Structure 1
Amino acid sequence: MRNDIQNLGIILIDVGNTQLIQPDDVFCQAYIYMINFIRRNFWDVNRVIKIDLYDTVFQGDPFTQSLPKGAVHLLEEGLSFLSSEGNVNMDLLNALGYKVQDFNYHYVCAGYFGGDVEEILNFLSFSLTFYLFGRHWHDQALFNYLLMTGIYENNHIFIKKYDSLSLVRHLSGIKLRDNQFLGNVTSAYRNDRYAAIIHHYYLGKDFLYSIYRSCPPTSIKYPDYINIKMENLTFEEFERKAKNL
C-alpha cells in the first residue's frame, strides 16, 4: 500500500511509535508533528490544509481555490449542541470549564481547517499550550472552547468561522441526497459551487458505493481502503453490493 500511495505523489512521513496516554490524545499529538514539519519547511510552504484522511475523499485539487490570508478558516459541521454529536462536544467543553449557554450554536469541526502557513503555525502552537494530555479531551472541543470564550481573538489568533465553504462539504450535519456520487457533490448551500473535499463521506450511501466504482482496489486487496463503518457490512458484502448497483 505504501508504494501505491507514494506513486500518487503523496509523501509519507514515518513518525515512529507514539506514546499515547489516552486514545483521544492522538488528535493533538498529530499537531506536534505538523508544527515541526511546517517549521522545517516554512519557506517552501504557502498554504496549509489539514484534513482527517480516514473519513475524507477529494473530488478535486483543494489548492486551486484561494484561502484568503489573515485568518485560519474553520468550518461549521452543520450541527448544534442539541444534536447527539453536539452533546458529546458539550460534555467536553464542560470538562474544559466552559458552560454552553447557546445550545443552537453551530460548533466548528476539527476535521478540516486551512489557511496561510504563518496563521496555521501560530494557531496550532497557541492551541496546544492549552491541551492537557491524559484528560480525555480532543482537538474539536479545544478549538471550540478557545473560539467561544474569545481566547483566540484576545491573543491575536484570527479565525474566520464559516457556515459553508465551497471548498469543503461536511456530511454529518447536511446529508447528501440520493444519486449524489463522487464527482457531482456541491457545496452545502450552493449548488453552483463544486466541493473539492468531502468529509464524513461514509454518511452518503450512494456516494460511498460510487467511490468503489470510481476507485476500485488494485490487484492487492485492501479491505479497509474505504471507510464503510456506517454500512454494517464486511468488505466482501460491500464489494458485491457496489458492483450490483
Structure 2
Amino acid sequence: MNASFPPCNFQPVKYKPNSTPDDLFISYAFKNCKNLASLARTFRHTGTNASAVFFIDDEANSAMTNDTRNLILSCGVTLINVGKLPFSGGTNYYHSAYMFMTELVRLNIHKLNRVIKSDGFDTFFQGDPFIEDFREDSLLLYDEHYTLKQCPFNRDFIKRYGYKLTEKDNEFYYICAGFAAGKAEIFLNAYWLYLSFVIPDGSYTDQGGFNYFILTGMFEKYQIPFITQKGIDNVFVRHCARDWTRRNERLGTFTMNYNASKYALVVHHSYLIENVKQYCPAPHGKFPDYFNTRS
C-alpha cells in the first residue's frame, strides 16, 4: 500500500498481520467528518496493506477542510461522496450507510477476501486487524461487556423490533453494531438481511436489529454463521474504551474487555478517550474535526 502520512506516536500491536489489498475496511461519516482523519491515520499507522473506503455525504464533504481531505487521501483511503442521503433523520443514517456498503461489497465480491466495518466517529486502530488467525467461517460480532439488564437503552432498541424480552434475556451480553468483520460473502449476507428486514422510518437501530437476529435465531434461519466476543480468539476488539477504568491504558496499550493480557487491535467508543490527543495528535494545519472526544 503506497501511503505517505505523518505517523502517530505509539507502537502498533502486531499479531501476525497478513493483510492485502483484497481485504477491505469500510467506514462512513454523514453530516460532519469528525474523527475521520484520525481514524484513517491510526488505521494506516498499523502498517496494514488493506484497502479502505470512507463514505461521506454532501454535508460531510462540505465540512471537510482541504487539510483533512488530503490527510485522509494520503493514508490511502478512498473517499466516496454519495451526495444526498436516500434516507436521513433518526436512525436512518445506518440504513443509508449499509445500502452503499453492501453495494460496494457486491460489486467487488469477486476480488474481496475479508471485510471489516466500523463506525467512523469513534474508532481507532492499535494494530492491523487482518491477521493470520482471522476467523473466516463466521460473522464476528463483539459485545460491550454489559448485559441487557444493565442497559435500558439496548432493551428498548430490541423491543422496537417487536421482541418480548424474557427474564433469561436480562443476562444476555448485547453486541455492539459499531464493528463487524467477516469473509466478504458472509459479511454481505448479514447486512442484506438487515436491509431487507428494517423499515427506514427513523426508529430502528442497527444495534437493536443485530441483537434481535441473535435472540430470535434469525441468523441461523438464514444460514448466516456468527460468533460473539467470548468465543472469538482473534481480531481483538475493545468496545467502551474509557481511560478512567484502567488508568494505565493509552492508545497503543488498550487491552481486551475479557482478557487484560491481550492488546486490542481495534478500539471503539474512542470519544471517551482523552489521551489519544497525546499519542496521535493532529498535524499542523486546519483540522477542526480531527478528534471526536469529550475532553
Which interval holds the TM-score relative to the shorter structure? 0.7 to 0.9
- Aligned residues: CA RMSD: 2.0
1:89 partnered with 2:154: yes
Measured in 2, the distance between the counterparts of 1:94 and 1:202 equals 27
Shift of 1:42: 1.1
Match of 1:180 among 249, 256, 262: 249
Determine if contact 1:75/1:165 at 8 Å carries over to the other structure: no
1:197 partnered with 2:274: no
Structure 2 unmatched runs, 5+: 1-67
Shift of 1:67: 2.3
Shift of 1:41: 1.2
Aligned residue for 1:243? none
Determine if contact 1:165/1:187 at 8 Å carries over to the other structure: no
Match of 2:86 among 2, 6, 19: 19
Identity %: 34
Aligned residue for 1:53? 120
Measured in 2, the distance between the counterparts of 1:175 and 1:38 equals 38
SS state at 2:85 partner: coil
When residues 176 and 41 of structure 1 are mapped into structure 2, their CA distance, relative to the original with a 3 A threshold, is: farther
Of stretches 219-228 and 96-105 in structure 1, the one that deviates more from structure 2 is: 219-228
Determine if contact 1:94/1:100 at 8 Å carries over to the other structure: yes
- Which residue identity is paired with 2:238? R
Determine if contact 1:78/1:174 at 8 Å carries over to the other structure: no
Match of 2:279 among 209, 214, 219: 214
Measured in 1, the distance between the counterparts of 2:165 and 2:225 equals 22
SS state at 2:197 partner: coil
When residues 98 and 40 of structure 1 are mapped into structure 2, their CA distance, relative to the original with a 3 A threshold, is: same
- Which residue identity is paired with 1:22? G
**Corresponding residue pairs, total:** 224
Determine if contact 1:78/1:173 at 8 Å carries over to the other structure: no
| Residue pairs, 1:147-158, within 5 angstroms | 147-158=214-225
State TM-score, norm by structure 1.
Answer: 0.85
- In the TM superposition, what whole-angstrom CA distance separates every residue of 1:57-105 from its partner, at most 9, and x where no partner exists? 011111125322221111111111122xx21121122221101112121
- In the TM superposition, what whole-angstrom CA distance separates every residue of 1:133-191 from its partner, at most 9, and x where no partner exists? 11411100011111100111112111111236551111269974012111112222223
| Residue pairs, 1:1-245, within 5 angstroms | 1-83=68-150, 86-101=151-166, 102-163=169-230, 166=234, 167-171=236-240, 176-204=245-273, 208-209=274-275, 211-229=276-294, 231=295
State TM-score, norm by structure 2.
Answer: 0.71
- In the TM superposition, what whole-angstrom CA distance separates every residue of 1:103-148 from its partner, at most 9, and x where no partner exists? 1211111011101001001111122111001141110001111110
Measured in 2, the distance between the counterparts of 1:175 and 1:65 equals 32
Structure 1 unmatched runs, 5+: 232-245
- Which residue identity is paired with 2:93? V
When residues 191 and 80 of structure 1 are mapped into structure 2, their CA distance, relative to the original with a 3 A threshold, is: closer
